[in-house]
Amino acid sequence: MNDEDQKPGVVIDVTPEPEAAEAEASTSPPPPDDKADAKPAKGSPLPLALALLALIAVGATGAWGYQAWTKLQADLAGINARLQETHSRQQQLQQSLATASSSLRAQEGALGEQRDVLAKQRTAVDEARAAFQRQEQKLADENLRMQEREAELRAAVADVHRRVGRSGTQWMVAEAEYLLRIASDRLILARDTGAAITALQLADQRLRDTKDPGWAGVREQIARDMARLSAFEAPDSAGLSARLSALIGQIPQLKIANATIGAERTLPEAVERQPGERSWETLINDVWAGFKDSVRIRERDKPVQAMLAPEHQFFLYENLKLHLEAARLALARDDQTMFRDNLGIAADWLGEYFDPSDGTASAMREAVNAMLKIEIRPEVPDVSQSLRALQVRQKLMLEVASSETETQ
**Cα distance between residue 353 and residue 298, in whole Å:** 21
The secondary structure of residue 303, as a DSSP letter, is P
3-state SS of 235-273 is: CCHHHHHHHHHHHHHHHHHCCECCCCCCCCCCCCCCCCC
In one-letter notation, the amino acid at residue 120 is K
With beta carbons less than 8 A apart as the criterion, state whether 251 and 317 touch: yes
**Cα distance between residue 311 and residue 302, in whole Å:** 25
Backbone φ/ψ region at 208: left (φ over 0), alpha (ψ -120 to 50), beta: alpha
User: Which 3 state secondary structure label does DSSP give 198?
Assistant: helix
Reported as half-sphere exposure (CB side, CA atoms, 13 A), residue 396 has a value of 9
In one-letter notation, the amino acid at residue 190 is A
- For the stretch 28-57, pLDDT in tens is 444 444 444 444 445 578 888 888 889 899
Among 46, 58, 48, CA closest to 17: 48
**Cα distance between residue 225 and residue 197, in whole Å:** 9
Among 264, 226, 228, 235, CA closest to 339: 235
- For the stretch 332-355, pLDDT in tens is 887 888 988 999 999 888 888 888
With beta carbons less than 8 A apart as the criterion, state whether 403 and 381 touch: no
Residues 6 or more apart whose CB falls under 8 angstroms from that of 123 comprise none
CA distances from 199 to 203, 205, 380 (A): 6, 10, 16
**Cα distance between residue 365 and residue 174, in whole Å:** 54
Helix (H) or strand (E) holding 216: helix 216-231
The secondary structure of residue 167, as a DSSP letter, is -
User: Which 3 state secondary structure label does DSSP give 117?
Assistant: helix
Burial degree of 329 (CB within 10 A; 0-12, 13-18, 19+): middle
User: Which 3 state secondary structure label does DSSP give 305?
Assistant: coil
Among 239, 234, 250, 233, CA closest to 328: 239
Q: Per residue of the chain (408 residues), give pLDDT as tens.
A: 444 444 444 444 444 444 444 444 444 444 444 444 444 445 578 888 888 889 899 989 989 989 999 999 999 998 999 999 999 999 999 999 999 989 899 999 889 899 999 999 999 999 988 998 998 899 999 889 889 988 888 888 766 655 555 455 788 888 899 999 998 888 888 778 888 899 999 999 999 988 888 888 899 999 998 888 888 777 777 888 888 888 888 888 888 876 544 444 444 455 555 555 556 666 677 666 665 555 555 544 544 444 455 556 788 888 889 999 999 898 888 788 898 899 999 988 888 888 877 788 888 888 888 888 888 877 778 888 888 988 888 888 888 777 766 665
